[in-house]
Amino acid sequence: MRSETLTNVIEACRFCFMCRHLATVGNVTFRESDTPRGTALILDKVRRDPALLQCADYVECLYRNALSGACRKHCVSSYDEVGLVLAAREDIVAVGAAPKAVAVLAETLERTGNPFGAAARTGAKRRAATTADVLYFVDPYAAHKQPEIAAAFLAAAKALGVKVLPVEGVDAGKALLVLGYRDQAAKAAKRVRKLVAESGCKTVVTSCPACFDAFKNDYPRLGAGFGAKVAIEHSGAFLLKVLEAKKPKISKRGKAKVFYLDSDFLRNYNGIVDEPRALLRALGLALLPFGTNPEESCACGEGAVVSDVLHPGVVSLLRARVEELADDPAHDTLVVASPYTKHVLVSGVRPLKVKTLDEVVAERIG
């Protein structure tokens, strides 16, 4: 079992409570099992009796995890509680114990390249027909739920004089990987690598933090790394660099005060905290601290990539938590780095005012 390679994490976390204030799902479901301690206790039982991988209650809990990485980032020893759950999911898939909803979702991802089962949009470029220095990878949430994000990035790039080749309708494989389908994720990764190689690009940019993390960290482990000559950037960091280099005129239109909600993949997985904030400040915005603390995940399940499809009830609670933490949810402008998070936050009964970094840039320099 893959989870056996992380026995040190099981032994460290099974009786440790020191990060439970940051247990993203546990904070809204109030379940003991939705904490790193709870999952480590489960996997401690499983390692003694692998037949328990078939226990539907245990499996359900392991798939409810939002994988935010907030607890791992907080831990003074950085025990990889996220890696443990991912390994356990692979074990679950390997023994054929994945819940039906997970299996159906994986099949949908393989078949359509997105979690919604949607057909590719008309005109979407799935192949690198031309070459370009910069390839812009559009994720399913930006493609099918929040098309204004990709439009904003492309508009900003054009205004800044950067030629970009957009590509969408191709699955990055990240969702398959977090669901436990490693082999299928590796195939997807190799397809993307081929596409990147054909484009001849020097930089791959994406507005999707999950895709960014996949390209940067997962692909090399899956044998599909882009190589040292291709830079990988989240659109926020990319636009910041271009802004700093080109120093365009910044518009003073729009609200001057904004709150930035960190992305799980950028902050907790890749330690990217300053760049998004620097970008917003470079755009002349006054940045206010969101919520009560800088550690809690407010990305609404971004770490699990497709949480809203698999666990809409939990995601609804996560969204309510963001609303609860906001100073003035009806009026505050929240800026996020993730199409997924924007999709969740604007989909509630009382939609919040949310923009991505790309949209803010497009507004301020357009």
Of 5, 24, 25, 45, which one interacts with another protein (CB under 8 A)? Answer: 45
Site string for another protein, 108-137 (x = CB under 8 A): ------------------------------
- Residue 6 touching another protein (CB under 8 A): no
Site string for another protein, 87-106 (x = CB under 8 A): --------------------
- Residue 33 touching another protein (CB under 8 A): yes
Query: Which residue reads 């996949």 in tokens?
Result: 214
Compute the least distance from the CB of residue 137 to another protein, in Å.
Answer: 36
What is the distance between the alpha carbons of residues 230 and 225, in angstroms, rounded to a whole number? 9
Of 3, 24, 38, 189, which one interacts with another protein (CB under 8 A)? Answer: 38
For the record, the structure tokens of 89 come out as 């999911």
User: Is 149 in contact with 205 (CB distance < 8 Å)?
Assistant: no
User: Is 283 in contact with 303 (CB distance < 8 Å)?
Assistant: no
What is the distance between the alpha carbons of residues 66 and 98, in angstroms, rounded to a whole number? 17
Compute the least distance from the CB of residue 214 to another protein, in Å.
Answer: 29
Give Cβ neighbours of residue 136 (< 8 Å, ≥ 6 apart). 150, 153, 154, 157, 164, 165, 166, 167, 205, 206, 235
Binding residues for another protein, rule CB under 8 A, total 36
Of 1, 2, 44, 110, which one interacts with another protein (CB under 8 A)? Answer: 44
Query: Residue 176's closest CA among 185, 189, 168?
Result: 185
Candidates 39-47, 120-128, 168-176, 217-225; binding stretch for another protein (CB under 8 A): 39-47
Query: Residue 135's closest CA among 215, 190, 213?
Result: 215
- Residue 152 touching another protein (CB under 8 A): no
- Residue 19 touching another protein (CB under 8 A): yes
Q: How many CA atoms lie within 13 A of 145 on its CB side?
A: 21
- State the residues that interact with another protein by CB under 8 A: 11-22, 27, 30-33, 35, 37-38, 41-42, 44-45, 48, 55, 57-58, 60-61, 75-77, 79, 292-293
